[in-house]
Structure 1
Amino acid sequence: MKQKPTETILTMRPAARARRPWGVLGLLFVIGFGALLAGEGSGQDQALSGRYTYRFLGFIKLFSISLYWETDDAAQARFDGRPYALRFDYYRGFSAEQLVAEGNKALAKEASEQEMARFAESLDRINASYLDVSKGDRYRLDIIPDERLTLSFNGKELIAISQPGFGEFYTRIWLGEREECQAIKNALLPERLSEASQG
């Protein structure tokens, strides 16, 4: 039976009014409202695995995360080296500073000092790419494990980082081992719930 996406309360508050400054680098994560947009930013067909919605105070939708695999059978997909993508759809505005701060805070809890030092330059590059987001904006991360991470904004590629391992490191913001990541992974990878119930 297909699991319904899990929802949670996020402590990050929406920006009162998110400005979209002029600049060459636009960006921020956002994910999709459906599989019709699943292939955006990728030359291959992709299958939707699951979706997770962040809510403030339990009922105000902030943004959603969707996981896509480059496979025709998402039910069989695993983090086993195959390419995947995370899409972020925003329902409220956020400043670039808010997004970067939340991501850095999560990584500081996930990664060792050695890892933070190893990926510091790449992290600075992707953080510098962020702009404020408004309702309806869409960000996407395409990851080829141990090879490349690409960040796109509303369908336009903004930055590609080729440092091996950075994609897996960066997506630990949402797919890490922290307690708050477990509900996200259960929603994005429904087979985790099936396996747990069988065990």
Structure 2
Amino acid sequence: MISGGAIPFTEKNHESSKKGYLYTLNQTLNILEDTEYELKEIRGRNPKNSISSNVAEYATAFLNTQGGRILYGVTDDSTVKGFKASSQQIDEIQRVVFDSLRTIEPTLSADHYQLEFHQIYNNESEPIEDLRVLEVVVPPSRDKKAVYFNKGKELHIRVRGVKHHLKGTEIVSFIQNKSTE
């Protein structure tokens, strides 16, 4: 998962100690938006809609480049904010995320992606009830020449930490470059 920027764990830390780090509310992670990470703050009271509205676009961009991770509940300046989600809401979010990822063509099986809901802690390393960060891991495509489209028509790529929606001759150029790799 994340290699740096989180608070070091201790034996008293619960589930996150197994992973080697904690997400602490209002702490800054030692990561930036780049070719591997996309940071998305969740605003409003409906994280399910916020996440499902763009997860396929970002996953498509990562599939068309080198893979990556989307962290929902972390601001663009790498501050952990999280979002409220009960166990039932986590189940609903997982369902809509996988439904959204199925709109990517060519379709990959759901087990290609990894979803991890991380608990958020306060400064005393105590869990904050129902406050989470969602990490969506998009591994690189096994087929290096494949070109992935969101909804069968939208081509997204990732360049220097920014998602780009390609159009017209940009699409042709991208496909030609992929086919010669």
TM-score range, shorter chain: 0.3 to 0.5
TM-score (norm: length of structure 2): 0.35
- Kindly name which structure, 1 or 2, has the bigger radius of gyration based on alpha carbons: 2
Give the TM-score normalised by structure 1. 0.33
